[in-house]
Amino acid sequence: MEEDRPLDDAKTKRVLVVDDDEGNRDLIAAMVRKEGFQVEEAFDGQDALDKIGRAAPDLMVLDLMMPRYGGYEVLRRLQEGENARIPVIVVTGRMRDRSTMEMIRQESNVVEFMEKPVKSVLFGMTLHRVLHTKPG
């Protein structure tokens, strides 16, 4: 049973933060680091896909509205092959209509959907829950 499994150390997990806004990306990356995780950053969807191709992260925090490949396109591309297992927390500053949000939630690897500004405590708890790690 997964609940009985011991919690992992956050230091062993790598999180890819994808956001075209440098300020948002830096803030989210700082929150991830504060929780004890390793962080890699990508400035758009294509950069994210390139980095995933080199070494898949344990989790991705993904903005939806970006140039080149946007968040939805990245989600669709992740469904191809072994990358479909990467859990994704979608973070967006723009509230979308209910049907679009439900469509995004239906993607098999989307584990959470959060609005900006991200609340630090809730975000940290979500990271640890999804990655099955103990808070530092």
Q: How far apart are CA 58 and CA 86, in angstroms?
A: 6
Q: Using omega within 30 degrees of 0 as the cis cutoff, is the peptide bond preceding 57 cis?
A: no
For the chain, list the domains and their CATH numbers: 8-131 (3.40.50.2300)
pLDDT at 104: 76
**Is there a contact between 29 and 58 (Cβ–Cβ < 8 Å)?**
no
Each residue of 79-115: pLDDT tens digit? 887 899 999 999 987 666 666 677 777 778 999 989 8
Q: How far apart are CA 113 and CA 101, in angstroms?
A: 8
Strands (E), the chain: 8-9, 14-18, 38-42, 59-63, 88-92, 110-115, 133-134
pLDDT digits (tens, 9 = 90+) for 19-42: 999 999 999 999 999 999 999 999
Asked if 25 and 17 touch (Cβ cutoff 8 Å), the reply is: yes
**pLDDT tens per residue, range 61-88:** 999 888 878 888 999 899 887 899 999 9
- Look at residue 1 in the predicted model and tell me its pLDDT: 44
